[in-house]
Amino acid sequence: MSRKIKYSLELKLLLVKQAIKGEGSVRAIAKENQLDHTILDRWVSFYKVYGIEGLRLPARQYDGEFKLKAIQTLRAGGLSLYQACIRFKIPSVSMLSNWQKKYESHGAESLFKSCRGKPKSMNKSDKIPKQGTANAREQELENKYLRAENEYLKKLYALIQKEELEKRKKR
């Protein structure tokens, strides 16, 4: 995953004004400044609707109600993802697309669940099989077998080393 680059407000404003004045196409201005044209296009759209505040969108977390409202408006209004992002001041089309996928596959309640961060590790009860079940007994026997096999191989290796050492001493 690539690292997100932050651009200064001055740079955003300069490039947006160049694009609006027609000093070049969005693609040409973006390429000249080593920037993806979709980013500059998004900046221009947000600037046209919200002015300079559209370029200062802070990173934030959205609650379930906001996500649901955005998805319902998107579906009912026949908006594109891009248009809905502009309307709701969502800086990333992929974020809205992910919400839409969650909504379609798992329903509205999935938008209210927070799943940020590292997933929790398994509980101890998940790691150790419960005693008394057939699966637990089978697992226990397999572990004993593997331990015994390991001990046997260690002793065999030690015996081989001992014999080789005795052969060297006789020479």
- Exposure string of 82-117, with b = 16+ CB inside 10 Å and e = fewer, is eebbbebebeebeebeebbebbeeeeeebbeeeeee
**13 assigned to some structural domain:** yes
**20 assigned to some structural domain:** yes
Of residues 66 and 123, the one with the higher pLDDT is: 66
pTM: 0.56
pLDDT of residue 71: 87
Structural domain boundaries, residue 94: 61-114
Residue type, 110: S
> Which tens digit of pLDDT belongs to each residue from 1-55?
455 667 888 888 889 888 898 888 889 988 888 888 888 888 888 888 888 888 8
What distance in Å separates the CA atoms of residue 120 and residue 9, rounded to the nearest whole number?
38
Q: Report the number of distinct structural domains present in the chain.
A: 3
What distance in Å separates the CA atoms of residue 164 and residue 126, rounded to the nearest whole number?
47
**120 assigned to some structural domain:** no
**2 assigned to some structural domain:** no
> Which tens digit of pLDDT belongs to each residue from 97-128?
888 888 888 888 888 876 666 666 666 555 55
